[in-house]
């Protein structure tokens, strides 16, 4: 684990721009060969497109001084939470083979590797209408808006529900997915199976502590039923969460393992507690996600609802209702992220149990180890609910202005998205967030 206090993210942007420009320039060098076989009536073999958001948020809270859109950010400023620029290059290599590269310039946890700022980079093989196979970097497609969470023009809000999407552990996935497509009536069905691994830099806002979160052996199945006006989606994903390269967590885990081994014969209850704390660090454990979502866009009503569970750990859900009135779409958005397990507490009672065995100094050190592990385990907890109202104003087909106000209630033991003011007394708190965003695509 590394500390990233007071490091600002701006220098990384230049490197991202350079890398993206290089990747796209490399792609463009092969364009003439493809263009030679085109006729004026063929669609272009290469297509450049993009999207952007210029956003600003103002936080009103007596307890918090920063909030993050998701855990891939660290104490972003009011301009950094939502502002972004996405650039995409699509290439048609043959009638059945195509390529896509997309990079997003936005605020990241500092020291996020350049390679993790490219969101899409894959080859797609479409042997028939019924099958599609993609190889490379794709999105895990876990939630309704997982694939377009950065594309503001694609949804009515300034940002997807913070309670639901802020903890999305997978930003991108390296691997392969196979999709079977079929139609029934006016609906299109997609069954997608994905295999791969993912790596994302995550941060706890208050402590400034960040870690490289890795998911190995991702196995996911997504079933989608879609018409232009109604989408229903269900996903099940299983993976192994690995934080082993976070040295701070590794050290805590090793210390707890030693304590567990030492105390098992004489203090089995204490050994079990040490084991639970070690498991809570999430250094190497299985995780399973289940999610269901629906989006209905009909007769000027836009209704979106999603529910998700990290089995055994959390429940997340949100509901949004919007109504289109000409160019204006007022909406309400209510979300909740709830933790099933209570927060870990420092094991102060270990001192009395261990002192007769190992002496008071060593016992105090063990308590300190347990307290540090409990604190580290609680860093990533998100437990909050919010109610937001806002309006989207479509200035043009590809340009929208949005204003949103959120009232958020945050539990003391679930504030991973919030950085606190000095002297905060570790109680539940409330925050109000005003957000203004201009979203466009080209």
The residues binding another protein (CB under 8 A) are 39, 41-44, 47, 49, 51, 86, 88, 90, 95, 100, 102, 120, 122, 124, 126, 128-129, 134, 138-139, 147-148, 151, 153-155, 181, 183, 185-186, 188, 226, 228-229, 297-298, 324, 327, 394, 396-398, 400, 441
Q: How many C-beta atoms lie closer than 10 Å to residue 34's C-beta? A: 15
Spatial separation of the C-alpha atoms in residues 213 and 331, rounded to whole Å: 34
| Shortest distance (Å) from residue 204 CB to another protein | 29
Nearer to another protein, 139 or 260 (CB): 139
To which H or E segment does residue 280 belong?
helix 268-280
Nearer to another protein, 54 or 355 (CB): 54
221 is written with which tokens?
A: 């199945």
Strands 399-415 and 382-396: antiparallel
Q: How many C-beta atoms lie closer than 10 Å to residue 324's C-beta? A: 17
| Shortest distance (Å) from residue 136 CB to another protein | 10
Integer CA distances (angstroms), 214 to 139, 196, 202, in order: 15, 11, 10
| Shortest distance (Å) from residue 209 CB to another protein | 32
Nearer to another protein, 29 or 39 (CB): 39
Q: 139 in helix, strand or coil?
A: coil
| Shortest distance (Å) from residue 272 CB to another protein | 45
Nearer to another protein, 141 or 273 (CB): 141
To which H or E segment does residue 372 belong?
helix 360-378
| Shortest distance (Å) from residue 184 CB to another protein | 10
Q: How many C-beta atoms lie closer than 10 Å to residue 148's C-beta? A: 15
Nearer to another protein, 291 or 378 (CB): 291
Place of tokens 């993009």: 50
Integer CA distances (angstroms), 161 to 130, 319, 406, 410, 438, in order: 33, 9, 10, 14, 18
- 259, 267 Cβ separation under 8 angstroms: no
The alpha helices in 115-230, defined as continuous H runs, are: 162-165
Nearer to another protein, 86 or 255 (CB): 86
Nearer to another protein, 186 or 425 (CB): 186
| Shortest distance (Å) from residue 132 CB to another protein | 9
| Shortest distance (Å) from residue 76 CB to another protein | 22
Q: Which of 278, 244, 250, 251 is nearest to 264 (CA)?
A: 278
Nearer to another protein, 18 or 183 (CB): 183
| Shortest distance (Å) from residue 240 CB to another protein | 26
| Shortest distance (Å) from residue 163 CB to another protein | 21
Nearer to another protein, 63 or 104 (CB): 104
Which residues touch 382 (CB under 8 Å, ≥6 apart)? 163, 166, 167, 314, 337, 339, 414, 415, 416, 417
To which H or E segment does residue 231 belong?
strand 230-242
């Amino acid at each position: 684990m590394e500390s990233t206090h007071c490091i600002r993210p701006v220098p990384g942007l230049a490197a991202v721009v350079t890398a993206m420009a290089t990747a796209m320039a490399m792609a463009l060098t092969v364009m003439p060969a493809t263009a030679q076989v085109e006729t004026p009536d063929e669609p272009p073999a290469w297509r450049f497109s993009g999207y952007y958001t210029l956003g600003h948020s103002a936080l009103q809270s007596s307890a918090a001084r920063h909030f993050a859109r998701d855990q891939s950010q660290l104490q972003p400023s009011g301009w950094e939470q939502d502002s972004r620029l996405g650039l995409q290059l699509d290439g048609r290599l043959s009638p059945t083979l195509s390529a896509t590269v997309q990079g997003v310039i936005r605020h990241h946890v500092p020291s996020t590797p350049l390679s993790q700022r490219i969101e899409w980079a894959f080859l797609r093989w479409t042997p028939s209408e019924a099958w599609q196979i993609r190889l490379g970097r794709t999105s895990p497609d876990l939630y309704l808006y997982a694939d377009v969470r950065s594309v503001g023009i694609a949804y009515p809000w300034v940002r997807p529900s913070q309670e639901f999407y802020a903890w999305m552990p997978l930003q991108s996935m390296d691997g392969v997915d196979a999709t079977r497509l079929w139609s029934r009536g006016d609906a299109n069905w997609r069954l997608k199976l994905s295999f791969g691994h993912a790596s994302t830099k995550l941060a706890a806002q208050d402590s400034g502590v960040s870690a490289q979160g890795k998911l190995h052996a991702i196995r996911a199945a997504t079933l989608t039923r879609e018409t232009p006006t109604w989408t229903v989606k269900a996903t099940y994903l299983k993976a192994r969460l690995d934080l082993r390269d976070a040295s701070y967590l590794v050290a805590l885990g090793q210390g707890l393992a030693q304590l567990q081994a030492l105390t098992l014969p004489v203090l089995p209850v204490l050994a079990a507690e040490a084991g639970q704390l070690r498991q809570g660090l999430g250094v190497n454990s299985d995780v399973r996600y289940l999610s269901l979502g629906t989006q209905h866009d009909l007769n000027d009503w836009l209704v979106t609802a999603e529910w998700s569970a990290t089995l055994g750990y959390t429940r997340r859900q949100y509901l949004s209702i919007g109504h289109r009135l000409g160019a204006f779409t007022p909406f309400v958005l209510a979300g909740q992220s709830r933790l099933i397990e209570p927060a870990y507490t420092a094991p102060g009672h270990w001192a009395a149990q261990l002192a007769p065995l190992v002496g008071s100094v060593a016992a105090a050190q063990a308590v300190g180890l347990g307290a540090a592990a409990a604190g580290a385990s609680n860093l990533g907890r998100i437990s909050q609910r919010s109610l937001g109202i806002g309006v989207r104003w479509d200035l043009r087909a590809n340009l929208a202005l949005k204003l949103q106000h959120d009232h958020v209630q945050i539990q003391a033991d679930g504030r991973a998205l919030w950085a606190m003011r000095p002297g905060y007394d570790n109680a539940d708190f409330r925050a109000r967030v005003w957000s203004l965003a201009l979203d466009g695509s080209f």
